[in-house]
Amino acid sequence: MNHIKTLDLANGSLYILLYMCHGFIQGNEETNMASMLKTIFSNLEAQITLRKSFVKGKHELQMKELVGLEEDIFRNDRNLHLTEKCIDALFSDDKLILARKDEKKNQGFVDYQDIPEKRLFFGEGEQNSLEFLEEVLKPDNFKKLTLRLEEKNMPRGVAILLYGAPGTGKTESVYQIARRTGRGIHQIVISETKSKWFGESEKLIKKVFDQYRRLVEIKEIAPILLFNEADGIFSRRKESNKSAVSQTENAIQNIILQEMEDLKGILIATTNMSNNLDKAFERRFLYKICFKKPTVESRIQIWKDKIPSLTNDETARLAEKFNFSGGQIDNIARKCLMKEVLYNTAPNLNELLAYCTEENLQTSVQPIGYM
């Protein structure tokens, strides 16, 4: 903590920084500004003056990039946090604190190096769209594109919607593109952005974007902000604002809409139910890629990839008889592997057909004559 002496801070700023450092050591990443100012400064006028200084971004600690202000929608309930620059400078010798910081920072974050390679098979339309998207997200290309957009006074952020039937590879496509473009993924669990307490859900969703902004700032290559099964939060806004639930959901969606307008980075949303999305969100997605059920040719490739022991004739028969998604074929392949591990023998064709029938709950089998 000797580094604090070299910062040349005014006494008031020093008190605030020490207060926040104490909280950080105790495990609190954020400090409630109003509560802190009231604790440190007994003079109400001083509290108001300091608050205004922080809100305007003019406080000494902000100017020296030591403290940041959370962009909270509740004007009377703003939080402050130590910047990454401040944490690294003040706690660089404390391995325990830095380890805890990294652990918290990485919650919900997937490093591209930790994503296993997986082969995916698509029709020509989806494949072309995904290849183009990958080119857009390659770091050098993305940097050039965002600079040109900024020169033209156009929004720099890129929002992408992947929609279609379940099990068609939407989420896995995001992971594979992230792996190949060297981008981490900051994945959002929709249920964790909602709270039963009035006003908390809005704060949670705002915090998601605040955290992502900080990641974009500190990462050399901007990560992907991923909303999986996004229809749970990007759904149509309620026409009636009478209930507290409707008001909360509409407020959350208004926050997301504004954040998408101001986005500096990459947002990808996936959904199985695109019809449930609010029309206002559709316009804000620059790219929209539809994932269809795989064709017979694609299913043949998937079967062969998942169960290499199948003959060409067997894969062709299975692909034509069962209109499965890649996810469903993956389920069957896992069952085959489990039997092989437990009984040291692979399922025969009849057992494989039984697995397929079990998987196909709606019995959408395409009848053909030779099976």
Per the CB < 8 A criterion, the answer to whether 210 and 173 are in contact is no
pLDDT tens, position by position, 277-304: 778 888 889 999 999 999 999 999 999 9
Question: Which of these ranges, 52-56, 217-221, 330-334, has the smallest mean pLDDT?
Answer: 217-221
Q: Which residues pair with 225 in a beta bridge?
A: 186, 267
Cα–Cα distances in Å, from 190 out to 108, 194, 201, 206?
Answer: 12, 7, 11, 13
Task: Grade residue 371 by pLDDT with cuts at 50, 70 and 90.
Answer: very low
Average pLDDT, the chain: 84
Q: Quick one: pLDDT at residue 307? A: 94
CA distance 292 to 255: 31
Nearest CA to 325 out of 24, 35, 95, 121 is that of 121
pLDDT tens sequence across 74-107: 455 688 988 878 887 787 665 455 544 544 555 6
Structure tokens at 14: 């020093």
Q: Residue 241: its pLDDT value, please?
A: 58
Q: How buried is 212 (Cβ within 10 angstroms: 0-12 exposed, 13-18 middle, 19+ buried)?
A: buried
Residue 21 φ/ψ, nearest 5 degrees = -65, -40
Rounded Cα gap, residues 157 and 266, in angstroms: 6
The predicted structure's pLDDT at residue 86: 85
Torsion, Cα 22 28 29 34, to 10 degrees, reads -80
Residue 367 has what pLDDT? 46
What confidence tens digit (pLDDT) does each residue in 235-281 have? 666 665 566 667 777 888 888 889 999 899 999 999 988 777 778 88
15 pLDDT tier (thresholds 50, 70, 90)? very high
Q: Which residue has the higher pLDDT, 26 or 34?
A: 34
Digit-coded pLDDT (tens) for 119-137: 999 989 999 999 999 999 9
**Residues linked to residue 164 through DSSP beta bridges, in sequence order:** 291
pLDDT in tens, 184-205: 999 887 655 554 444 567 878 8
The stretches of 307-359 forming alpha helices (DSSP H) are 312-321, 326-343, 349-359
- pLDDT value for 318: 94
- Report, as an integer, the average pLDDT of 167-191: 91
- Which DSSP state fits 77? S
- Token reading at 146: 């965002």
pLDDT at residue 103, rounded to an integer: 44
What percent of the chain clears pLDDT 90, i.e. is strictly above it? 51
User: How far apart (Å, rounded) are the C-alpha atoms in residues 65 and 61?
Assistant: 6
Helix (H, G, I), strand (E, B) or coil at 119: coil
Q: Is the pLDDT of residue 348 over 70?
A: yes
pLDDT at 325: 93
Is a pLDDT exceeding 80 seen at residue 140?
yes
